């Protein structure tokens, strides 16, 4: 069904692209004259008393109130400095003073002030302006007296264009002392090729041709101010934005495959400049109910190339464009030639995000990304637009789309799930790919027991599950045993040379029934695998990092600071990528890193990074019994609460009963949350739905199960036997809590009976 839907969407997208191209070709010759019916209007001209009221009503904020003795200019400021929009100010966009050119009967006056923001004007005027974002021609403004048409053309790769403005007098009287003032900054220059007449006779149309040159990326939108006398000598002034946007100077780019696109998308020069927002899709242009209409709007008139097969979710739009590489003779068009622009538009699903979209734009230049994002929002977003960074939990993307489909099959999946004697259904598989690791953390693989070296598994020894066996095991658990969530663990899962093959195999064999696909990793070598993970929907990433201080890292992990820098770089990259859901796990150790709790909480100030503090747990060889290292959940929370203030710390949600975090907390004003995994002091066993399989194919029903309680699935797979009887056997022996131990102290006393953390995968 998804393949058929993809094929249908591809045809629709191709039709949209063809239509956009046809419209662009037609625009070269099609504008012509104003609507002749307007000139056949036989109504009497408005009276002196009604004309000002009619103008004020239709223009709203665009038209200044009538003045009897002088023309009304646009708002001015004491200086001529350009005032950037708030988003431009946040990025530190360079300010450029506006340049003013006046045509008509009067001499130029001083002009200044900020260019109008995107959502200024009467609804009709704003709608016309927005319609021209993706069109080369149309009506820019119209009321009972004046119609202004626009026809434009731009030279791809040259940073220049031409705009023809047609002013039509619809009234029965002349418009005298007609003058036009063009207002622009240094980044976009406007120059008229001819003088404009000083009067427009009744039912007459005049034309003003303007040459446009863009000298560098900008957010500025040029304006046009007109002033004239009505037939009764009433003065009028009208100020309009001109749809001369940065995107007009772009050209479409064809990217052949998803690998090329996402390789650029992840590049630091692009993801650091991302500009994104979650917005409501406007109903004005039929975009909300039609993916085709949204796609048409998103191409911005064909300057962005629509790619219908690059994203794993067929409802997501991927578009690409570039800015000119060549400059007109004697003119430097762009400071960054060949500036490629990458766009992803994710359509929201579910009750919270229906009718919304996440718009993300990346480029090597922040101003370019911001300007193109704003142009896209103008094209299809509901105004006014809140362009704050987008919600990290926005319900869309490859994994979310698959999860939603899986959610509709939950009842069927649950009917396959195996329960223990306490009626707990088990739907979550933690699958250890290896017990090897490229680090030697004291609580997991103390070097005193495991030495300082590790081997990359290539190929696995006979004791380990092969890649094909892992895929077979995962497929049977998901398709036959009701598992809907898989997390890959270790050791460090990425040290397997066949890690990409395993990820791709699980995604392909489990299909839509796998609702969530995740990994727990130290992140040292994960970056090389991100393209495969993204394509497979392996998007839930938990990164283990126990210190934010580089100098401490060797003491904790017995590895150089270079490893720490790799992990920090990965975290910074993933937190900015809307596809991935990122959590940072920190094992809290008294006297080691407990002085960094607030530093970790500070990470939650920004979006898409949730922190989880983990109580130090007893495993073989990690010295838990000394009682010196463990910090309890209560101590962790009290330390944070005392520092930030009780009034500034709130419980933001009660998570599902299967979660290892009973509560999540948010500091007032922060965008993400933190929690505590309190396996020792506040165990979460009552809602346990987890089963664990070690790298050598042994099934464990509990994290704290004894080492000799594993049931071999490896032998069953190699002998072709079904797994359900073995799973039922293991869960039939499962204890209510803590692997049958009375409390954490008994766990500590019998730690040597437990498998090592790196064996069972946490």
- At 389 the pLDDT is 45
Kindly compute the dihedral angle of the four CA atoms of residues 25, 26, 31, 32, in this order, to the nearest 10 degrees: 110
Fold (topology level) of 64-247: Immunoglobulin-like (2.60.40)
Three-state DSSP class for 687?
helix
pLDDT of 26 above 60: no
Q: What is the pLDDT of residues 45-55, one digit of tens each?
A: 333 332 333 33
Domain 402-760 has CATH 3.20.20.70: yes
Q: Where are the domains of the chain?
A: 2-21+250-395, 64-247, 402-760
- At 662 the pLDDT is 58
Q: What is the pLDDT of residues 521-566, one digit of tens each?
A: 999 999 999 999 998 999 999 999 999 999 999 999 989 999 999 9
Superfamily designation of domain 2-21+250-395: TATA-Binding Protein (3.30.310.10)
Kindly compute the dihedral angle of the four CA atoms of residues 416, 419, 424, 428, in this order, to the nearest 10 degrees: -60
Q: 338 vs 426, which has greater pLDDT?
A: 426
Phi then psi dihedrals of residue 168, to 5 deg = -115, 125
Q: Is 710 exposed, middle or buried (0-12, 13-18, 19+ CB in 10 A)?
A: buried
Report the chain's C-alpha Rg in angstroms: 32
pLDDT of 317 above 70: yes
Q: 127 vs 727, which has greater pLDDT?
A: 727
Q: 219 vs 157, which has greater pLDDT?
A: 219
Q: Which helix (H) or strand (E) holds 377?
A: helix 366-380
| Strand intervals (E) in 331-410 | 340-347, 356-363
Give dist(CA 21, CA 299) in Å, integer.
11
| Sign of the torsion angle spanned by Cα atoms 461, 462, 468, 474 | negative
Q: What is the pLDDT of residues 104-161, one digit of tens each?
A: 543 333 222 222 333 445 778 888 898 898 889 999 999 999 999 999 998 865 678 9
Give dist(CA 31, CA 46) in Å, integer.
29
- At 479 the pLDDT is 92
Packing angle, helices 499-510 and 467-480, rounded to 10:
20
| Range name among 12-26, 301-315, 480-494, 697-711 with the lowest pLDDT average | 12-26
Distances (CA, A) of 382 to 284, 403, 407: 8, 28, 30
| Sign of the torsion angle spanned by Cα atoms 292, 297, 303, 304 | negative
Cβ atoms 347, 316 nearer than 8 A: yes
Q: What is the largest CA-CA distance in the chain?
A: 100
The whole-number average pLDDT for the span 742-751 is 59
Nearest to 652 by CA among 661, 662, 663: 663
Nearest to 750 by CA among 587, 629, 614, 617: 617
State the pairing for strand pair 235-241/223-229: antiparallel
Cβ atoms 611, 584 nearer than 8 A: yes
In the numeric block, the tokens 């705009």 are attached to 163
Give dist(CA 18, CA 585) in Å, integer.
49
- At 751 the pLDDT is 52
């Amino acid at each position: 069904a998804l393949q058929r839907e993809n094929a249908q969407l591809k045809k629709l997208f191709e039709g949209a692209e063809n239509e956009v191209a046809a419209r662009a070709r037609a625009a070269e010759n099609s504008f012509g004259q104003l609507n002749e019916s307007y000139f056949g209007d036989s109504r009497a001209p408005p009276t002196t008393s009604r004309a000002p009221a009619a103008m004020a009503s239709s223009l709203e904020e665009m038209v200044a109130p009538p003045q009897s003795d002088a023309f009304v200019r646009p708002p001015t400021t004491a200086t001529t400095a350009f005032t950037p929009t708030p988003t431009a100010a946040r990025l530190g966009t360079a300010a450029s003073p506006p340049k003013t050119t006046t045509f008509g009967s009067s001499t130029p006056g001083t002009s200044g002030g900020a260019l109008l923001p995107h959502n200024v004007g009467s609804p009709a005027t704003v709608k016309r302006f927005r319609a021209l974002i993706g069109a080369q021609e149309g009506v820019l403004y119209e009321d009972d007296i004046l119609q202004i048409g626009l026809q434009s053309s731009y030279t791809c790769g040259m940073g220049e264009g031409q705009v023809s403005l047609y002013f039509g007098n619809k009234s029965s009287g002349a418009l005298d002392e007609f003058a036009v003032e063009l207002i622009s900054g240094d980044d976009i220059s406007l120059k008229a090729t001819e003088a404009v007449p000083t009067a427009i006779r009744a039912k007459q149309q005049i034309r003003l041709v303007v040459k446009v040159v863009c000298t560098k990326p900008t957010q500025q939108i040029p304006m046009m101010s007109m002033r004239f006398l009505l037939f009764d000598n009433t003065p009028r002034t009208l100020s309009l934005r001109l749809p001369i946007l940065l995107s007009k100077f772009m050209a479409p780019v064809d990217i052949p495959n998803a690998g090329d696109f996402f390789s650029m998308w992840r590049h630091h020069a692009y993801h650091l400049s991302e500009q994104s927002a979650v917005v409501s899709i406007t109903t004005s242009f039929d975009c909300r109910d039609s993916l085709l209409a949204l796609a048409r709007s998103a191409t911005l008139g064909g300057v962005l190339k629509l790619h219908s097969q690059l994203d794993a979710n067929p409802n997501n739009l991927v578009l690409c464009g570039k800015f000119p590489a060549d400059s007109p003779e004697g003119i430097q068009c762009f400071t960054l030639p060949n500036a490629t622009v990458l766009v992803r538009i994710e359509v929201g699903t579910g009750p919270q995000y229906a009718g919304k979209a996440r718009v993300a734009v990346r480029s090597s230049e922040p101003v370019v990304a911001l300007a193109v994002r704003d142009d896209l929002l103008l094209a299809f977003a509901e105004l006014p637009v809140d362009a704050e960074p987008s919600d990290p939990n926005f319900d869309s993307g490859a994994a979310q789309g698959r999860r939603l489909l899986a959610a509709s099959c939950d009842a069927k999946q649950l009917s396959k799930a195996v329960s223990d004697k306490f009626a707990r259904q088990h739907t979550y598989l933690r699958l250890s790919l290896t017990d090897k690791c490229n680090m030697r953390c004291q609580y997991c693989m103390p070097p005193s027991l495991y030495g300082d070296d590790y081997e990359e598994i290539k190929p696995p020894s006979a004791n380990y599950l092969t890649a094909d066996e892992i895929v077979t095991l995962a497929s049977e658990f998901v398709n036959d045993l009701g598992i809907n969530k898989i997390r890959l663990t270790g050791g460090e899962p990425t040290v397997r040379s066949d890690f990409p093959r395993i990820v791709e195999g699980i995604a392909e064999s489990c299909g839509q029934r796998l609702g969530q696909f995740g990994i727990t990793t130290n992140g040292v070598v994960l970056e090389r695998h991100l393209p495969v993970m993204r394509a497979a929907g392996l998007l839930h990433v938990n990164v283990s990092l126990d210190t934010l201080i580089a100098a401490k890292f060797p003491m904790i992990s017995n590895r150089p600071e270079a490893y720490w820098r790799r992990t920090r770089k990965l975290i910074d990259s993933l937190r900015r990528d809307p596809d991935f859901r990122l959590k940072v796990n920190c094992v809290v150790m008294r006297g080691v890193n407990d002085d960094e709790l607030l530093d970790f909480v500070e990470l939650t100030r920004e979006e898409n990074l949730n922190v989880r503090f983990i109580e130090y747990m007893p495993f073989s060889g990690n010295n838990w019994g000394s009682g010196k290292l463990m910090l309890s959940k209560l101590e962790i929370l009290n330390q944070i609460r005392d520092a930030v203030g009780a009034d500034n710390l709130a419980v933001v949600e009660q998570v599902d009963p299967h979660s290892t975090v009973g509560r999540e907390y948010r500091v007032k004003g922060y965008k993400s949350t933190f929690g505590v995994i309190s396996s020792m002091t506040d165990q979460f066993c009552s809602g346990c739905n987890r089963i664990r399989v070690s790298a050598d194919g042994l099934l464990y029903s509990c994290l704290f199960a004894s080492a000799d309680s594993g049931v071999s699935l490896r032998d069953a797979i190699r002998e072709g036997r079904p797994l359900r009887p073995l799973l039922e056997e293991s869960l039939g022996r499962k204890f209510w809590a803590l692997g049958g131990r009375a409390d954490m102290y008994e766990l500590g006393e019998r730690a040597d009976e437990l498998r090592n953390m790196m064996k069972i995968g946490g």
